[in-house]
């Protein structure tokens, strides 16, 4: 991969930037306006050599705006491209099956991956998820419902969970 495109959208919880491949697949995203926060999370085999800023990324920008505006399903069909080992890729795919408003515990998430004893590995997959929001790692909480950690901050995770619970 050589060229990708980025765009930053203002949201109720701060700027949200997405980096997409030429075919529109999200490579990285999160609540930041800095590519330096996003690009290190992209697999070296997918990391672009050039990122060109655009005002709008089409379907991706629309999905970000619509999701934050209350259409929680807007992110569901956006393509994502992440690369890692077999377990992590399977774990990221499993995250996309967790419905909005129905957070799961790390133990339940491990079960969704098909490896119920791999709770720490599942948590690690969450931590290394580059395509935040589109691969909704914020929907995984600690047993008992405690928020847990989140790359973009506990306040952002709390807002996302409340946003999905209200809708």
* pLDDT for res 167: 64
**Based on the domain organization, do 96 and 153 belong to the same domain?**
yes
> Cα–Cα distance between 43 and 22 in angstroms, integer?
16
Domain membership flag for residue 61: yes
| Residue 78 domain flag | no
Q: How high is the pLDDT of residue 166?
A: 86
What pLDDT shows up at residue 145? 82
Q: Are residues 60 and 113 in the same domain?
A: no
Q: Are residues 102 and 57 in the same domain?
A: no
Q: Are residues 59 and 96 in the same domain?
A: no
Residue 109 has pLDDT above 90, yes or no: yes
CB count within 10 Å of CB 29 equals 26
- The last residue of a domain, from among 69, 99, 116: 69
Give the residue from 69, 104, 119 where a domain finishes.
Answer: 69
Q: Using alpha carbons, select from 65, 84, 83 the residue that is nearest to residue 74.
A: 65
Q: What is the CATH number of the domain that holds 161?
A: 1.10.10.10
Active site residue 126: no
On whether residue 80 sits in a domain, the answer given is no
Both 51 and 112 in one domain: the answer is no
Whether 152 has a pLDDT exceeding 70, the answer reads: yes
Kindly report the length of the chain: 167
Q: Is residue 76 part of a domain?
A: no
5 beta partners: 20, 52
**pLDDT mean across residues, the chain:** 96
Residue 91 shares a structural domain with residue 132: yes
The catalytic position among 137, 140, 141, 160 is 137
Q: Are residues 98 and 152 in the same domain?
A: yes
If you average pLDDT over residues 126-155, what whole number do you get?
94
- How many domains does the chain contain in total? 2
- Residue 85 pLDDT: 94
Handedness of CA 98, 100, 106, 108 (dihedral sign): negative
Residue numbers of the domain that contains 121: 86-165
């Amino acid at each position: 991969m050589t060229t990708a495109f980025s765009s930053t959208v203002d949201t109720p919880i701060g700027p949200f930037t997405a980096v997409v491949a030429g075919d529109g697949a999200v490579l990285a995203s999160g609540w930041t306006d800095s590519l330096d926060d996003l690009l290190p999370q992209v697999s070296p085999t997918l990391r672009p050599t050039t990122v060109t800023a655009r005002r709008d990324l089409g379907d991706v920008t629309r999905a970000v705006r619509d999701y934050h505006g209350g259409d929680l399903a807007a992110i569901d069909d956006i393509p994502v491209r992440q690369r890692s080992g077999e377990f992590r890729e399977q774990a990221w795919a499993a995250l996309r099956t967790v419905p909005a408003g129905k957070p799961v515990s790390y133990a339940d998430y491990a079960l969704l991956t098909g490896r119920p004893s791999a709770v720490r590995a599942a948590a690690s997959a969450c931590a290394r998820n580059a395509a935040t929001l589109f691969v909704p790692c914020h929907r995984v909480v600690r047993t008992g419902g405690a928020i847990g950690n989140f790359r973009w901050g506990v306040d952002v995770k709390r807002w996302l969970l409340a946003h999905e619970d209200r809708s």
